[in-house]
Structure 1
Amino acid sequence: MTNATNTSTPVTTGLYIGGSERQAASTLEIADPGKPGVTVGHAAAAGPGDVDEAIAAAKAAYPGWSALSAQERAGQMRAALEGIADFRDEDAAILSQENGKIRMEAWVDSLVFEIRWNLALALADEVEATKVLPPAPGIPVTTTVAFQPLGVVTVIVPFNWPIAILAASLPHALLAGNTAIVKPPPTAPLATTRVVQRIAEKLPPGVLNVVTGKDADMAALITSPDVAKVCFTGSVGGGQRIMEMAAKSLTRVTLELGGNDAAVILADAILDDTHLDRLYAAIFDTTGQICMNAKRIYVHRSRLDEVVAGLAGRLEQAVIGYGLQEGTTMGPLHSPAQKAFVTELIEEAKAAGADVREYGSLPTDPALQGGNFMRPALVIDPDPALRVVTQEQFGPVIPLIPFDTEEEGIEAANATWAGLCGSVWTADPATADRVGGKLVCGYVWVNDHGATRLDLRAPFGGMKQSGMGREQGIEGVRAFQDTRAIAHLEPADPSGV
């Protein structure tokens, strides 16, 4: 693992298996999404044999790691995290280049990892909690219900917030007593690999491993009978493939998949600068490439013009450019394919007669020509059947759809395949609780929305096709444990009574 001292030096990362870094027979070339033809670095491309060795290393480390108490594991994990902030600026620069997002967001990506890791360690006292069921009529046993770890787990993260997303599950899995293999995204693996390896180097060999490479060579991370669980964050299609592969060995899965989040803005919503800033960030952070971003805005008809004007005023100030350039507020999309898809959605809406308004100017720097940059867009009062409404855009475009009654807004918000997050915007707390309680999704904000506003202590996950299982909190720890009951037969009363 090279220590890049400046952002123009290509970064090289290897595999980390069983306590040792190693290279592979080939590498992945990591492209810069903002600068066509520029290579950010190279990541080792593991072959099937490397993957098998990573699984074997994690399996060998499991007995010793799981035998420790939760407090002992927490102590080692706390020590392993020390110094992570020392590399944050460097990691952020690398992540910005391989991902495309602005430097500030890349810096926060690593910060959230540290926060989530420490929040997980604070749960150590709850990990080994037990419940005792006393004898009852017809049941002459005292039963202790306890928790035990599963074994080897695989954690697969996406390109958009890979380091932060990793910490929604990895520390919980390790704290529960499992050993782990991390698979960073193949198109943006460099910064994530660096962070994971630094931590793994301070843990017993094999407890934490990291492998990078092509998805086609990684199947054993899901199908191996030695892998007890797979935790995957990504698209619905990716989740379906993971679930199908895991079914062959009945491997358990936690899936945090795509979202089509609805923000429901009621007639009494507070639409001052503070709230409009929150709404804008909820839509356009990371150029719209966050699963829990607002993807559909349902606005009471009486407030539509205010919302459009508020978002338009902020979009007019957007600076579209390279993620590491000072002043840039919106970087490129991660891939040419995603840019083409979002462009298609916008053009389809225009062709259908929707009111489409685009903002900002594309960068003029010759080095950025052909990069995955897009002008953000508002699509006002579109046909609800258009794909810009029904599909997850994952880009800088948002439909704004008016409604007339609260019931109509709720019905429209729920009329989707997705159920990740949602939000209610109202001045009345009772209304917020009533409407929020009717949204079919795993997480609801009130007068806010988005990843930066997530309570990192609370369980997080989706309903419907947005996934299954929960991450974060003690629920996230339990997701990497199984229950075990031990029943003791009550001794017979020697008096015979």
Structure 2
Amino acid sequence: MSTVDIRKDLTQRNANVENEGAPRHGSPELTTHLLIDGDWCAASSADTFPVFNPARPDELVGHAAGATPHDVDRACSAAHKAFPRWAALTYAERADYLLRIAQALQSDAEDLEARTRLFTREHGKILREAALELSRLGERFVLTASYAQELSKEKQLPGPPFDTVVYRQPRGVAALIVPWNWPLSILGAKLPQALLAGNTVVIKPSRESCLTPALTIRRMAEMLPPGVINMVTGSSAVIGDPLLTHPLVRKINFTGSIGVGRRVMVKAAENLTPVTLELGGNDAGLVLNDACLDEAAFQRMFSGIFLSSGQICMALKRLYVHESRYDDVVAGLTKIAERQVVGDGLLPEVSMGPLNNREQFNIVRSLISEAKASGCDVRECGNIHNAEEFEQGYFVRPTFVLNPDQRMRVVTEEQFGPVIPIMSFADDEEAIDLANATNFGLCSSVWSSDNQRAMRVARRLEAGYTYLNAHGPTAQDNRGPFGGFKHSGIGRNLGFEGVVEFQDYHTISSAPGWLL
């Protein structure tokens, strides 16, 4: 099936909607395949697995190919075969390919709209957020391409004692493992970097959200020589270990939970394969007593907490507020939360969609139930668009848990949903101690009207990224490296440093005066 045929197929299926924009039960679904050596192909076993709409868990959106270990081997072999020619290109030549990909992702408005609507149906996020994620992918290719000139520079060390040249070279086949929550945006923090560095790749999207990623990856691969980009979809229990332990894989870049990240490290150790791990976060936000708390600030704070129904690794997940501003913050956030409409993300009036899957829904509901059982003041806000669908789908209203015990799971664990504890502190020292009292260390934020004070506090936070007077992906500077401390990860994505993660150093030297 050609790209044009896929676009027409998607458009037809997305057109099968009710008057309000919600798809009919039993509407036609599509099937996505694997991508191996430029071939859009079925799994060797011909197996597929279903993908359902989290707003209506009985509504089938499509099927994806269920790869086998044999398919993983084929994909890794294809990437290995394509590697020498791809690595031999200059940075400028590879950057040109990245720019072609960015253009291709945005050039067909009808295709882009169809993929956006499909993404909302399979993932649950509202249309506006789906469009943001799809557009961000292309932007990250453009930004990464801009590093080509700087990457091409070599360090020269004239003798004595030796003439020495130090430069970086690609590692080989890179396995890119992408989670379900922001699969395309997160792919944009790995894929263009791996390609510009000179690697070829095998991508494994999450089975919880893989239809739109599969179609988008295919579109990108069409801009490159066969085998540079390969993709396998399926169960991690079937293809996870074969990919992690494949002898041709020379780099693993994984984004996901801490538990799975530990397994990635264990399996990578079998071949001493280097890893980059971007794992969970339990981000603390510190609202100091001099913070500007106008309507715009509350909107940024709310977005940092509840964007994508809170299913973001860098979301604000623990909010610590100076005791003098506590009531103001609770009131300001509650006012915005009460305006939210929870429902199917395809509907224009809906501002918060469902959680992506039943497992995450059950985790979030258990955290809320535990907080209620402990006697906490738990406030569930917002409006339900359709009561019957709300009960059937994986919906959770925006929820605040006020001043819970610091030992409760809603504080100590990553909620990964639309619920946040709001706690008070007496002074900056206590706030810093509370923020750092965790095994997580992904992101944090400081809210203050004094930039020097904000910087002093920020420098003492144990986190890979700290936002000032904002929080989350809409405040992210993609030029900076992104990753975590402690259990939140190893290594960095994004920025110039994100490209270097896919390379290693090569030193060449000679007698003094002979080379330089």
Q: 1:93 aligns with which of 113, 117, 131?
A: 117
Deviation at 1:75, TM superposition (A): 1.5
- Whether the 8 Å CA contact 2:103–2:138 is kept in 1: the answer is no
1:22 corresponds to 2:46: no
**Correspondence for 1:168:** 189
Give percent identity, aligned residues only: 46
1:90 alignment partner, SS class: helix
Aligned counterparts of 2:284 and 2:118: Cα–Cα separation in 1: 33
- Whether the 8 Å CA contact 2:345–2:352 is kept in 1: the answer is yes
Q: 1:318 aligns with which of 340, 344, 351?
A: 340
2:35 alignment partner, SS class: strand
Give the aligned length: 489
- Whether the 8 Å CA contact 1:260–1:294 is kept in 2: the answer is yes
- Whether the 8 Å CA contact 1:36–1:369 is kept in 2: the answer is no
Q: What letter corresponds to residue 170 of structure 1 in structure 2?
A: L
1:355 corresponds to 2:377: yes
**Correspondence for 1:193:** 214
Aligned counterparts of 1:418 and 1:279: Cα–Cα separation in 2: 20
Deviation at 1:211, TM superposition (A): 1.0
Give the stretch that moved more between structures: 259-268 or 344-353: 344-353
**Correspondence for 2:19:** none
2:392 alignment partner, SS class: coil
Deviation at 1:14, TM superposition (A): 0.6
- Equivalences for 1:25-174 in 2 at 5 Å? 25-85=46-106, 86=108, 87-136=111-160, 140-174=161-195
1:240 corresponds to 2:262: yes
Give the stretch that moved more between structures: 443-452 or 359-368: 359-368
1:392 corresponds to 2:411: no
CA deviations 1:180-217 (Å, max 9, x no partner) are 11111111101111111111012101011111111122
- Whether the 8 Å CA contact 2:82–2:228 is kept in 1: the answer is yes
Deviation at 1:362, TM superposition (A): 3.2
1:213–1:324 distance in 2 versus 1, CA, 3 Å: same
Aligned counterparts of 1:309 and 1:334: Cα–Cα separation in 2: 29
Aligned counterparts of 2:513 and 2:393: Cα–Cα separation in 1: 76
Aligned counterparts of 1:362 and 1:125: Cα–Cα separation in 2: 52
Aligned counterparts of 2:366 and 2:57: Cα–Cα separation in 1: 21
Deviation at 1:369, TM superposition (A): 4.0
**Correspondence for 2:365:** 343
**Correspondence for 1:221:** 243
**Correspondence for 1:329:** 351
Aligned counterparts of 2:98 and 2:322: Cα–Cα separation in 1: 49
Aligned counterparts of 2:455 and 2:391: Cα–Cα separation in 1: 48
Deviation at 1:76, TM superposition (A): 2.2
Q: 2:315 aligns with which of 293, 301, 325?
A: 293
Q: What letter corresponds to residue 39 of structure 1 in structure 2?
A: L
Deviation at 1:77, TM superposition (A): 2.6
CA deviations 1:258-280 (Å, max 9, x no partner) are 10000000000000001000000
CA deviations 1:99-152 (Å, max 9, x no partner) are 11101101111111011110000111122221112224xxx2111111100000
Q: Which runs of 4+ in 1 moved over 3 A?
A: 365-369
TM-score w.r.t. structure 1 length?
A: 0.96
Q: What letter corresponds to residue 435 of structure 1 in structure 2?
A: V
**Correspondence for 1:482:** 504
1:181 alignment partner, SS class: strand
Question: Considering only aligned residues, what root-mean-square deviation do their CA atoms show, in Å?
Answer: 1.3
- Whether the 8 Å CA contact 2:104–2:220 is kept in 1: the answer is no
Aligned counterparts of 2:163 and 2:450: Cα–Cα separation in 1: 49
**Correspondence for 1:10:** 29
- Equivalences for 1:229-308 in 2 at 5 Å? 229-308=251-330
1:21–1:473 distance in 2 versus 1, CA, 3 Å: same
Deviation at 1:73, TM superposition (A): 1.3
Gaps of 5+ in 2: 17-27
Aligned counterparts of 1:489 and 1:364: Cα–Cα separation in 2: 77
**Correspondence for 1:460:** 482
Deviation at 1:368, TM superposition (A): 5.3
Aligned counterparts of 1:360 and 1:231: Cα–Cα separation in 2: 38
1:159 alignment partner, SS class: coil
Aligned counterparts of 1:441 and 1:225: Cα–Cα separation in 2: 34
Q: What letter corresponds to residue 487 of structure 1 in structure 2?
A: S
TM-score w.r.t. structure 2 length?
A: 0.93
Aligned counterparts of 1:304 and 1:89: Cα–Cα separation in 2: 42
Deviation at 1:365, TM superposition (A): 5.6
Aligned counterparts of 1:26 and 1:273: Cα–Cα separation in 2: 52
